[in-house]
A and B are shown apart, each in its own frame.
Chain A
Amino acid sequence: MRKIILPSVIILSAIVLIAKIFYLQVIDETLKLKAENNAIKKVFDFPERGYIYDRNGKLLVANQPSYDIMVIPREIKNIDTTEFCKLLNITKDYFINKLEKANVYSPRLPSVFLAQLNKAEYAAFQEKERKFEGFYTQKRALRDYQVKDCANIFGFITQVNEAIIEKNPYYNPGDLIGKQGVEQQYEEILRGVKGVKYLLRDKHNKIIGPYKDGAFDTIAQQGKDLTLTIDHELQKYGTELMVNKRGGIVAIEPKTGEILALVSAPTYDPSLLVGRQRSKNYTALYNDSISKPLYDRGLQATYPPGSPFKIITGLIGLQEEVIDLNSTFYCNGGANFGRFMKCHCGLHTLQLNNGTYKSCNSYFGNAYKRTIEKYKDSYFSVDNWANHVKSFGLGQFLGTDMPIGAKGLVPTSKTYERMYNGAPIRSSYIISNSIGQGEVLTSPLQLANMMAAVANRGYYYTPHIVKKIKGQALDKKYTTKHYTTIAKEHFPAMIQGLADVYNVGTASTLKVEGLEICGKTGTAENKIRVAGKTYQLKDHSIFVAFAPKENPTIAIAVFIENGYWGSRWAGPIATLLVEKYVNGKISRKDLETRMLNGSIEDEYEKIENIIFQRTPERKIKKDTISNIKNKIGEARKEEENA
Chain B
Amino acid sequence: MKNQNIGNSIDWLTILLYTLLVIMGWMTIYSASLPIEETSIFDISQIYGRQFLFIGLAIPLILVVLFTDAKIFERLSFVFYGLGIILLLGLFVFGVTKKGQTNWYQFGGFGFQPSEFVKIATALLLAKYLSFSQVNIQKFKHQIVSLGIVILPVFLILLQPDAGSAMIFLSLIFVLNREGLPSWYFISGILAIVLFFASLLIQPIFIISAVLIFMIIHYLFNKKISRNPIIYSLIFGIIASYTYSVSYVYDSVLEPHQKDRINVLLGNDVDLKREGYNLNQSMIAIGSGGLTGKGYLEGTQTKGGFVPEQHTDYIFTTVGEEWGFIGSFVVILLFTLLFLRILYLAENQKTKFSRIYGYCVATYLFTHFFVNIAMLIKLFPTIGVPLPFFSYGGSSLWSFTILLFIFIKLDANKVNEW
B287 within 8 A of A: yes
CA–CA, A9 to B177, complex, Å? 13
Q: A25-B286, A25-B291, A31-B284 are in contact. Are A17 and B373 (CB under 8 A)?
A: yes
Q: Which residues of B contact A24 (CB under 8 A)?
A: 283, 286-287, 320, 377
CA–CA, A3 to B349, complex, Å? 14
Tell me if B374 and A31 are in contact (CB < 8 A).
no
Which residue of B has the minimal Cβ distance to A36? B284
Give the contacts of A13-50 with B (CB-CB under 8 A): 13-14, 16-18, 20-22, 24-26, 28, 31-32, 34, 36-39
Q: Which residues of B contact A28 (CB under 8 A)?
A: 287
Give the contacts of B130-181 with A (CB-CB under 8 A): 174, 177-178, 180
Q: Which residues of A contact B289 (CB under 8 A)?
A: 25
CA–CA, A31 to B285, complex, Å? 9
Q: Identify the stretch in B96-104, B244-252, B300-308 within 8 Å (CB) of chain A at 4 or more residues.
A: B300-308
B18 within 8 A of A: no
CA–CA, A22 to B359, complex, Å? 30
Q: Which residues of A contact B180 (CB under 8 A)?
A: 2
Q: A24-B283, A36-B280, A202-B300 are in contact. Are A17 and B379 (CB under 8 A)?
A: yes
Q: A26-B325, A38-B300, A202-B300 are in contact. Are A21 and B286 (CB under 8 A)?
A: yes
Q: Which residues of A contact B297 (CB under 8 A)?
A: 203
Tell me if B329 and A18 are in contact (CB < 8 A).
yes
When the two chains form the complex, which single residue of A6, A11, A31 contacts B363, counting CB atoms closer than 8 Å?
A6
Q: Which residues of B contact A10 (CB under 8 A)?
A: 336, 339-340, 343, 362, 366
Tell me if B174 and A25 are in contact (CB < 8 A).
no
B328 within 8 A of A: yes
CA–CA, A24 to B329, complex, Å? 13
B281 within 8 A of A: yes
When the two chains form the complex, which single residue of A3, A13, A34 contacts B370, counting CB atoms closer than 8 Å?
A13
When the two chains form the complex, which single residue of A5, A17, A22 contacts B174, counting CB atoms closer than 8 Å?
A5
B3 within 8 A of A: no
Tell me if A21 and B328 are in contact (CB < 8 A).
yes
A92 within 8 A of B: no
B404 to chain A, nearest CB (A): 16
Q: Which residues of B contact A13 (CB under 8 A)?
A: 366, 370, 374
Q: Which residues of B contact A106 (CB under 8 A)?
A: 273
Over the window 326-367 of chain B, the binary record of Cβ atoms lying under 8 Å from chain A Cβ atoms (1 yes, 0 no) is 001100110110011001000100000000000100110010
Q: Which residues of B contact A17 (CB under 8 A)?
A: 332, 370, 373-374, 377, 379
Q: Which residues of B contact A203 (CB under 8 A)?
A: 297-300, 302-304
B290 within 8 A of A: yes
A594 within 8 A of B: no
Q: How many residues of A contact B (CB 8 A)?
A: 32
Tell me if A108 and B304 are in contact (CB < 8 A).
yes
Residue of A7, A16, A202 with most chain B CB atoms under a 10 A cut-off: A7
Q: Which residues of A contact B332 (CB under 8 A)?
A: 14, 17-18, 21
CA–CA, A14 to B178, complex, Å? 20
B9 within 8 A of A: no
Give the contacts of B53-102 with A (CB-CB under 8 A): none
Q: Dominant SS at the A interface?
A: helix
CA–CA, A7 to B320, complex, Å? 25
Q: Which residues of B contact A20 (CB under 8 A)?
A: 377-379
Q: A14-B332, A25-B324 are in contact. Are A202 and B304 (CB under 8 A)?
A: no
B148 to chain A, nearest CB (A): 22
Tell me if B325 and A22 are in contact (CB < 8 A).
yes
Tell me if A38 and B304 are in contact (CB < 8 A).
yes
CA–CA, A14 to B299, complex, Å? 24
Tell me if A38 and B306 are in contact (CB < 8 A).
yes
A390 within 8 A of B: no
Q: A31-B284, A202-B298 are in contact. Are A3 and B347 (CB under 8 A)?
A: yes
Tell me if B328 and A25 are in contact (CB < 8 A).
yes
A7 to chain B, nearest CB (A): 6
CA–CA, A36 to B363, complex, Å? 36
CA–CA, A201 to B304, complex, Å? 11
Q: Which residues of B contact A37 (CB under 8 A)?
A: 284, 288, 301
B100 to chain A, nearest CB (A): 24
CA–CA, A6 to B361, complex, Å? 12
CA–CA, A3 to B344, complex, Å? 10
Q: Which residues of B contact A14 (CB under 8 A)?
A: 332-333, 335-336
A19 to chain B, nearest CB (A): 10
B259 within 8 A of A: no
Which residue of B has the minimal Cβ distance to A105? B273
Tell me if B174 and A26 are in contact (CB < 8 A).
no
B270 to chain A, nearest CB (A): 14
CA–CA, A9 to B366, complex, Å? 10
Tell me if A36 and B281 are in contact (CB < 8 A).
yes
Give the contacts of A511-564 with B (CB-CB under 8 A): none
A250 to chain B, nearest CB (A): 46
Q: Which residues of B contact A16 (CB under 8 A)?
A: 379
CA–CA, A34 to B379, complex, Å? 20
A202 to chain B, nearest CB (A): 7
B65 to chain A, nearest CB (A): 24
A147 to chain B, nearest CB (A): 44
10 A-B pairs with the lowest CB-CB distances in the bound complex, closest first: A31-B287, A39-B300, A203-B303, A38-B304, A24-B287, A14-B336, A25-B325, A38-B300, A20-B377, A6-B174
Interface, chain B (partner A; CB < 8 A)? 174, 177-178, 180, 272-273, 280-281, 283-284, 286-291, 294, 297-304, 306, 320, 324-325, 328-329, 332-333, 335-336, 339-340, 343, 347, 359, 362-363, 366, 370, 373-374, 377-379
Not counting A26-B291, A31-B288, a sample of 8 additional A-B residue pairs whose C-beta atoms are within 8 angstroms of each other reads A2-B177, A3-B347, A21-B332, A24-B283, A25-B289, A28-B287, A38-B301, A202-B298
Interface, chain A (partner B; CB < 8 A)? 2-3, 5-7, 9-11, 13-14, 16-18, 20-22, 24-26, 28, 31-32, 34, 36-39, 106, 108, 201-203
- 18 A-B pairs in the complex with CB atoms less than 8 angstroms apart: A3-B347, A6-B362, A7-B340, A10-B339, A10-B340, A10-B362, A13-B370, A18-B328, A20-B378, A21-B329, A24-B286, A25-B328, A32-B290, A36-B272, A38-B303, A39-B301, A202-B298, A203-B302
